């Protein structure tokens, strides 16, 4: 679904059917410490680009609203792990690299 910022994000949810006016971020929602979502957070959120650049099915994301300088700004911070290798992924857009190594060994 397209976010208020205009990017595709599988975690964005909106329902305007029959007078409803519901918007949500399912990624922030599933983290109990995720914080409160608001539409403006989608504007600089790294998740849509991560999802577009890395389609690995083992990539697991967790998001949290983080305060900026003096608590005046907010942004979405992302923490990523490889659910297959159970390792932290520093660069979620690239991945942990273990699947690439396996493909290279197969000569793919």
* 80 lies in the site for ligand SF4, by CB under 6 A: no
Q: Which two tokens stand for residue 82?
A: 């490889």
What are 79's strand-pairing partners? Answer: 62
* 45 lies in the site for ligand SF4, by CB under 6 A: yes
* 65 lies in the site for ligand SF4, by CB under 6 A: no
Least Å distance between CB 38 and ligand SF4? 9
Interface residues with ligand SF4 (CB under 6 A)?
Answer: 3, 9, 11-12, 25, 27-28, 41-42, 45, 47-48, 63, 76
């Amino acid at each position: 679904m397209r976010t208020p910022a205009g990017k595709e994000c599988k975690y964005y949810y909106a329902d305007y059917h029959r007078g409803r006016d519901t918007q949500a971020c399912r990624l922030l929602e599933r983290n109990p410490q995720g914080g409160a979502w608001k539409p403006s957070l989608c504007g600089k959120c790294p998740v849509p680009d991560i999802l577009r650049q890395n389609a690995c099915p083992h990539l697991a994301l967790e998001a949290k609203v983080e305060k900026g300088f003096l608590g005046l700004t907010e942004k979405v911070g992302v923490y990523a792990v490889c659910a297959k290798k159970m390792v932290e992924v520093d660069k979620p857009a690239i991945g942990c690299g273990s699947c690439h190594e396996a493909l290279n060994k197969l000569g793919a």
